[in-house]
Amino acid sequence: MKSKFGFVLARTAVLLLSACATDGGAYSGTLVLEGRHIYSSGDILNGVLVIVDGEVILEEGAGVRGSVFMLGGAAEINAAIDQDVSVVGGDIAIGPEAIIRGDFRVGGGEYEIAPGATIEGSILTGPASNVELDDFFPRVSAAERLVQLLPWSLVLAFLAYLAARTIPAALARVSQAEIEHPVVAAAMGILVGVVGPVLLVFMAFTLILIPVTVIGVVVGGLMVAYGWIGFGTAFGRFLVQRFNLEVGRSGSAFLGTLAFMILVDVLSIIPFIGPLVSLLAATIGLGAVVLTRFGLRQFVPATDLIYNEEYEA
C-alpha cells in the first residue's frame, strides 16, 4: 500500500513539475565579480545581471532578459535591457544604441547617457531612485511567483517523504526542537545564519578553500531545507490528526511539507509580513537542525536538564 502511495506521489509530482516549467530566466542570472566581459550581438543573458566589480560591455545586438543591478566596477551598455537598470556604485555609460525598457535608477556612482539612447521608463537619480533589493529579481506577478515556487515545494515534499521513510527519528527530533523550542532555535539560527556566510565568504577569499565554500553553501542549503521539512512534518501530523486522514508517517510528511510550503509561498505574496514569516521559519529550522545536530540527538535546554535532574528530584 505504502509503495503504491509513493508511486502515485512520484507520478503526480512529475506531472506538476512539468506543468510548472517556465521560460528561461526565471531561475537564471549573471554575477560579475571581476575581469572584463564583452557580450556581442546575439548574446542574450537570461535573468538579472549583477555587476559587483570588473568591467562589462554589452554591445549592440546583445540583450538582458531581466534587470541590471550595478554595485561597482564599470559598464558600457549599447544593448537592449528588458527591465530596470539600477546603479548603486561604479561607472556606467549608456551608449546611443541602448534600449532600456524599464527605469534607469541611480542611487550612487557615476553615469553618462549618450544622445540617442532610449529609456522607456523614467530616469530617477538620488533619493528618488529608490533602488531596492527587489531590483535584483525579475518582476513577476503573484500568480507567476506561486507557479515558480511550486516545484520547490514539491521537491521539498518528496525529500520529506524520503526522510520520513529513512530517518524518521532524526526528522522527529528536528521537528520537536522547532515546535517546542522556537525561541532557542531562532537564536541559534540567526547566529549560524550570520556567522556561516561570513566564514564561507572569508574562505572563498583564500582561493584554495573555494571548493570548501561551495560544499558549505550546499550544506547550508540542505540544512535550511531540512528545517523546512521539519516544520512540514509537524504540520502533516497536525493535518492528519485534525482531519482524521488515513496516511502513514511518510505520506503525512509529504502532505504536511507540501501544504506548509504552499502556505509559506502564499504568505510570501503579502509585502513585509510574508518574507518575514518565510525568513523566520527558515531561521528556526536552521537553528533546530544545528541544535539537534542534524537530528542525531534530542535537544533539551541545559537549564531544563538541571531542573529536571536536581531541583525537582
Residue ranges binding another protein (CB under 8 A): 181, 183-184, 187-188, 190-191, 194-195, 198-199, 202, 205, 291, 301-303, 306-307, 310-311
CA distance 32 to 55: 8
What DSSP state is assigned to residue 115?
T
Shortest approach of another protein to residue 202 CB, angstroms? 6
The residue among 182 and 274 lying less far from another protein, judged by its C-beta, is 182
**Three-state secondary-structure class, residue 184:** helix
The residue among 88 and 199 lying less far from another protein, judged by its C-beta, is 199
The residue among 226 and 299 lying less far from another protein, judged by its C-beta, is 299
The residue among 143 and 198 lying less far from another protein, judged by its C-beta, is 198
CA-based torsion, 112, 115, 116, 122: positive or negative: positive
Shortest approach of another protein to residue 37 CB, angstroms? 22
CA distance 228 to 185: 13
Kindly calculate the radius of gyration of the chain based on its CA atoms and give it in whole angstroms: 24
Shortest approach of another protein to residue 183 CB, angstroms? 6
Q: Grid coordinates representing 27?
A: 531561475
CA distance 224 to 192: 11
Residues 178, 257 contacting (CB under 8 angstroms): no
Shortest approach of another protein to residue 283 CB, angstroms? 11
Shortest approach of another protein to residue 231 CB, angstroms? 19
The residue among 92 and 177 lying less far from another protein, judged by its C-beta, is 177
